[in-house]
Amino acid sequence: MLLGTLFTAVLSIGGMGLRRPDDRSASSTCSPSFLASAIDLPGNGSVIGVAAEIAETPGHNATISFCNVTVTYTHPGWNDTIHISVNLPQNNWNGRFQGVGGGGWATSSGISSLLSPVANGYAAGCTDGGHEPVSGTSAAWANLPDGQLNMHLFRDFAYLALNDLAVVGKQITHRYYGHGPHHSYWSGCSTGGRQGMMMAQRFPTAYDGIYAAAPAINWPVFIVAEYWSQLIMNRLDHYPPQCVLDTITAAAVEACSSRNESFISEPGRCMFDPHVLIGLKANCVGSTVPITAKDAFIAQKLWEGVRTPDGQNLWWGLNPGAPFSGLTNTSCSSGLTNCTGSPFSISEDWIARWVLQDPHIDLQTLTNETYFGLFSKAFQEYNGIIGTNKADLSAFKKNGGKIVTWHGLADQLIFPGAPLITTTKSGTVILRLRTFIGYFLPPAWSIAWAEPVPTLMTLWGLLLSG
């Protein structure tokens, strides 16, 4: 954590120049008892404890001083213990609350993710959803002591804890400053983007504005699709070193980037066939490796998407130009030989632990039939909880909500071909939504934990001003 030294409330208030309408001092407002009295959790949520202390962190130019609040609570009967963190800047509060999202399996990326919004004047909050902020695996919390799946924590991760955060974050903000917040926003990428979309769909009055980058919606199904190129490599028993796949990417970019750019602006129009590269020598550290028909086949399959032998399309592919290293990763134990698959851990975890409910299964043994069957199984069991693909956002729109979202066309993990809203086949819904959704497809971008980058920040500001 990058967080600075913790100061007690008494030590730090001197000279901070606090100006609040009711002139309360930080020592009385940044206190557990004062803030706890404001908390009214949704449903039957029950507070276990509240901690609050003035803390400091080095900002861009000057030390930033804020009230560091942690609310610990449970949903009775669910045996969960959830921590909400809210950090409230002492000076220059901009009147707004910002909820900050997580990544992968992590409901939030930890409280260091609040520092930047706090430095920018927001009261900011995040929730751990009842588990440690570990992105790559749910191993630590997926199962109850008796081995059953912990569906309560799954629901916390999928949606419930997210609304608790919005409600409690705003209550604490209001209590601390004595008014507001006059606007509340969500900000997140990947899982954080999915969480933003979830808020718009299921809790449409919680946030006024939602920044949902590379939203990992359709989770149950697309995470299964993330294993596709590993399945292909397993079937072929052929695992190319990454330098071979990088060479294929470079050739695709060269063939399809019209303006001498290092990326493909319109991947949908890229008809590049990797089979033309067979025999060409890939540049690998210190040596060259000829590209084979199997290498080309693997690339083609990742780009094409998941297709059953009878021609059914089960999911979209990645775009040519996106790095193979995310989903078609391999590792070689001796230089460029003796390679094996290195699947994306979230996909392995999801398939084994949640869809097959067999954490010890060796996924290399998955047959085509079993793999294709996972798509409907995962959809049936989990879409209603975490699919986050409800097309009707009218309640959010009616409440004046606005969304900014983007999906990098070179995303190496989440398939950008999947339309933003997929439960409708009618393009008109998307068109209508454009009045309050800004949807961008920046071609050169892969997935990244991103705070709103400057360009989008400007668009965001335009959309949300006032």
Ligand X SMILES: *[C@@H]1O[C@H](CO)[C@@H](O)[C@H](O)[C@H]1NC(C)=O
Which span (70-78, 204-212, 377-385, 438-446) binds ligand X, by CB under 6 A?
70-78
| Least spacing, CB of residue 68 vs ligand X, in Å | 4
Q: How far is the CB of 71 from ligand X (least distance, A)?
A: 10
Q: Does the protein bind ligand X through residue 148 (CB under 6 A)?
A: no
Residue from 25, 63, 312, 338 binding ligand X (CB under 6 A):
338
Q: Does 48 bind ligand X (CB under 6 A)?
A: no
Residues 367-396 that bind ligand X (CB under 6 A): 368
Nearer to ligand X, 82 or 420 (CB): 82
Of these, 145, 147, 311, 454, which contacts ligand X (CB under 6 A)?
145
- Are the C-beta atoms of residues 203 and 162 closer than 8 Å to each other? yes
Residue 79 in the binding site for ligand X (CB under 6 A) = yes
Q: Taking Cα atoms as reference points, which of 450, 448, 228 lies closest to residue 351?
A: 228
Q: Which is nearer to ligand X, 156 or 208 (CB)?
A: 156
Q: Which of 57, 65, 98, 163 binds ligand X (CB under 6 A)?
A: 57
Q: Which of 11, 63, 76, 179 binds ligand X (CB under 6 A)?
A: 76
Beta carbon nearer to ligand X, 43 or 290? 43
Q: Is residue 448 within the footprint of ligand X (CB under 6 A)? A: no
Q: Looking at 3-11, 14-22, 26-34, 350-358, which segment touches ligand X (CB under 6 A)?
A: 3-11
Q: In this chain, which of 55, 64, 118, 322 binds ligand X, going by CB under 6 A?
A: 55
Q: How far apart are CA 462 and CA 364, in angstroms?
A: 49
Stretch that binds ligand X, among 8-16, 20-28, 57-65, 380-388 (CB under 6 A): 57-65
From 338-346, 355-363, 386-394, 449-457, give the range in contact with ligand X by CB under 6 A: 338-346
Does 6 bind ligand X (CB under 6 A)? Our answer is yes
Nearer to ligand X, 134 or 144 (CB): 144
Regarding 112 and contact with ligand X (CB under 6 A), the answer is no
Using rule CB under 6 A, residue 44 touches ligand X: yes
Query: For residues 191 and 96, is the Cβ–Cβ distance under 8 A?
Result: no
Q: Among 134, 144, 448, 462, which residue interacts with ligand X (rule: CB under 6 A)?
A: 144
- Closer residue to ligand X (CB): 22 or 146: 146
- How far is the C-alpha of 205 from the C-alpha of 115, rounded, in Å? 25
Minimum separation from the CB atom of position 98 to ligand X (A)? 17
Residues 235-294 that bind ligand X (CB under 6 A): 235, 260
Indicate whether 140 belongs to the interface with ligand X (CB under 6 A).
no
Q: Which is nearer to ligand X, 28 or 79 (CB)?
A: 79
Of residues 340 through 359, those in contact with ligand X by CB under 6 A are 340, 342
H, E, C per residue of the chain: CCCCCECCHHHHCCCCCCCCCCCCCHHHHCCHHHHHCCCCCCCCCEEEEEEEEEEEEECCCCEEEEEEEEEEEECCCCCCCEEEEEEEECCCCCCEEEEECCECCECCCCHHHHHHHHHCCCEEEEECCCCCCCCCCCCCCCECCCCCECHHHHHHHHHHHHHHHHHHHHHHHHHHHCCCCCEEEEEEECHHHHHHHHHHHHCCCCCCEEEEECCCCCHHHHHHHCCHHHHHHHHHCCCCCHHHHHHHHHHHHHHHCCCCCCCCCCHHHCCCCHHHHCCCEEEECCEEEECCHHHHHHHHHHHHCEECCCCCEEECCCCCCCCCCCCCCEEEEECCEEEEECCCHHHHHHHHHHHCCCCCCCHHHCCHHHHHHHHHHHHHHHHHHHCCCCCCCHHHHHCCCEEEEECCCCCCCCCCCCCCCCCCCCHHHHHHHCCCEEEECCCCCCCCCCCCCHHHHHHHHHHHCC
Applying CB under 6 A, which residues contact ligand X? 3-4, 6, 43-44, 51, 55, 57, 60-61, 68, 70, 75-79, 144-145, 235, 260, 309, 325-326, 329, 331, 333-334, 338, 340, 342, 368
